[in-house]
């Protein structure tokens, strides 16, 4: 769980929790700095990248655990969740199509 939202008295969702909620009917992208495959994806999505939720797995333990859980224990990025389905290093055109529909 995230930090306590003092105004509402409930936990604030973590970036991972927010991303999964967004990806139920959209796109969430799990990444890490220095990954050339993520850089390629970012360049391809340049005008559309704000439509996706981005989670840096080096800054979000729950996101890192999620990526490992869908990649046989490996922290393979980018892992992209489209409409609730995880894809490991998908072709950028697939992600672009999901973001433009």
pLDDT in tens, 34-91: 999 999 999 999 999 899 999 999 999 999 999 999 999 999 999 999 999 999 999 9
Residue 4 lies in a domain: no
Domain count, the chain: 1
User: Residues of 82-100 as b/e, b for ≥16 C-beta within 10 angstroms?
Assistant: beeebbbbbebeebbebbe
Residue 34 lies in a domain: yes
CATH number for the domain spanning 18: value is 3.40.30.10
Residue 8 lies in a domain: no
Residue with the bigger pLDDT between 97 and 17: it is 97
Query: Is residue 1 scored above 90 in pLDDT?
Result: no
Residue 1 lies in a domain: no
Residue 7 lies in a domain: no
Q: Is the pTM of this model over 0.75?
A: yes
| Structural domain for 28, as ranges | 14-100
Residue 93 lies in a domain: yes
Categorise residue 3: left if φ over 0, alpha if ψ from -120 to 50, beta otherwise.
beta
User: Residues of 21-52 as b/e, b for ≥16 C-beta within 10 angstroms?
Assistant: eebeebbbbbbbeebeebeebbeebeeebeeb
Peptide bond into 44 cis (omega under 30): no
């Amino acid at each position: 769980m995230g930090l306590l939202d003092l105004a509402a008295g409930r936990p604030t969702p973590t970036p991972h929790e927010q991303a999964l909620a967004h990806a139920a009917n959209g796109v969430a992208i799990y990444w890490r700095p220095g990954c050339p495959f993520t850089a390629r994806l970012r360049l391809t999505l340049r005008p559309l990248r704000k439509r996706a939720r981005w989670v840096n797995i080096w800054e979000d333990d729950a996101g890192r655990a999620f990526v490992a859980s869908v990649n046989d224990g490996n922290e393979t990025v980018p892992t992209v969740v489209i409409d609730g389905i995880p894809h490991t290093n998908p072709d950028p055109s697939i992600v672009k199509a999901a973001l433009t529909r």
